[in-house]
Amino acid sequence: MNAAPAGTLLPCRIDGAPVPHGPRVWALRTEQRPTDARAEREAARLACRAALAALLAAELGCAPSALQITNQRGQAPRVSVVPPVRASSAQAQVAEQAGDQLAEPWAKQLAPVRLSIAHAAGWSLVAWHRGPVGVDLQDRAAQQGMDAAERRRLSVLYLGQDEGSNRALAQARRAPEAIKNEAFAARWAAHEARLKCLGQPLQEWSPTLQAALAGCTARSLTLPVPMADAAPGWAGAVAWQDLRAPGHAGR
C-alpha cells in the first residue's frame, strides 16, 4: 500500500474523453481523528480551503495569502481577493481597495472561478473550474448493506431510474449485489456532483430537476493510487458547466 501523509495533494483524472478546459480535481489526504469526528471534519474543511488557495495562486501567479475562500457550512466555497488595509479612512479604503484589485491582472480571472469540496474519512476532494462545478465522493462500502428494495426505492425517488424498467440497469440485475451496490454508488456520486454544480440540495426527482441536471456534464473520477489503495471502495465524480459554449448540454 502507498501511504500518504496528511496534507498530501494528488491530481485526479477525469474519466472519458479529454476535457481541455474542464475542471481541475485533486485528492487531499487529511488528518483522521477517530475520537472526534466533528473536529476532524472542521480541520478537513480548513485544509481544503488552504489547498484550493495554493492551487489557484499557482495558476494565477499570486501569493496564496492574496486569496480568501469562504467557509460557510452548507454553502459552496467562494474565492475573492483579500482587500488591502492601508487607508486611513473608510472612504479612502474603499477607493484604494478597488484600485488595487483592478490593478492586479490576475484578480480579473477570479470572476468566473467556482469551487467545490467533498469530504470522506481521511480524504477529501477539491475542485475548481471557470464556471459552475460540483464534486462528490461516495463510500461504496457503505452501500454493501443496502438491499435491492432500498436501492430501487432510492433510485426511483432521487435518481429517476427504475432498475426494473430501465433496460441497461435491468441487464445488471443478474450481477452480484456487491457489484450492483458499487454501480449505485457511482450513479449517486454523479447525481450529487450535478446537484452541487447547480447549487441545489438533495430533492425528489422531477421533470424540472431532470431538465436542470441535463445542463451539467458529469464524469466519474479515477482516484490517485495512494487514495485508491487506502480506500478501494470509494466512488468519485465531478460535474461542471462550460459557460463559454452557448446552449451547452450535459453529457
Cell 424498467 belongs to residue: 165
The per-residue pLDDT for 106 is 85
pTM to 2 decimal places: 0.84
**Nearest in space to 113 (alpha carbons), one of 96, 98, 132:** 132
Q: Is 87 helix (H, G, I), strand (E, B) or coil?
A: coil
Walk across the sheet containing 133-139 and list its strands.
13-14, 217-222, 234-240, 133-139
Q: Is 137 helix (H, G, I), strand (E, B) or coil?
A: strand
The per-residue pLDDT for 183 is 86
The per-residue pLDDT for 63 is 94
**Structure-block grid coordinates of residue 92:** 479612502
Q: How many other C-beta atoms are found inside a 10 Å radius of the C-beta of residue 225?
A: 12
Asked if residues 187 and 159 have their Cβ atoms less than 8 Å apart, the reply is yes
Asked if residues 103 and 81 have their Cβ atoms less than 8 Å apart, the reply is no
Q: What mean pLDDT value characterizes the chain?
A: 84
**Nearest in space to 236 (alpha carbons), one of 89, 136, 133, 166:** 136
Asked if residues 199 and 76 have their Cβ atoms less than 8 Å apart, the reply is yes
Please give the Cα distance from 187 to 175 (Å, whole number). 16
**Nearest in space to 243 (alpha carbons), one of 21, 87, 66:** 21
The per-residue pLDDT for 250 is 42
Give residue 127's pLDDT band: very low, low, confident or very high (50, 70, 90).
very high
Question: Which residues share a beta bridge with 220?
Answer: 237
Mind listing the pLDDT tens digit for each residue in 46-102? 999 999 999 999 999 999 999 999 998 888 999 999 986 554 555 445 544 544 444
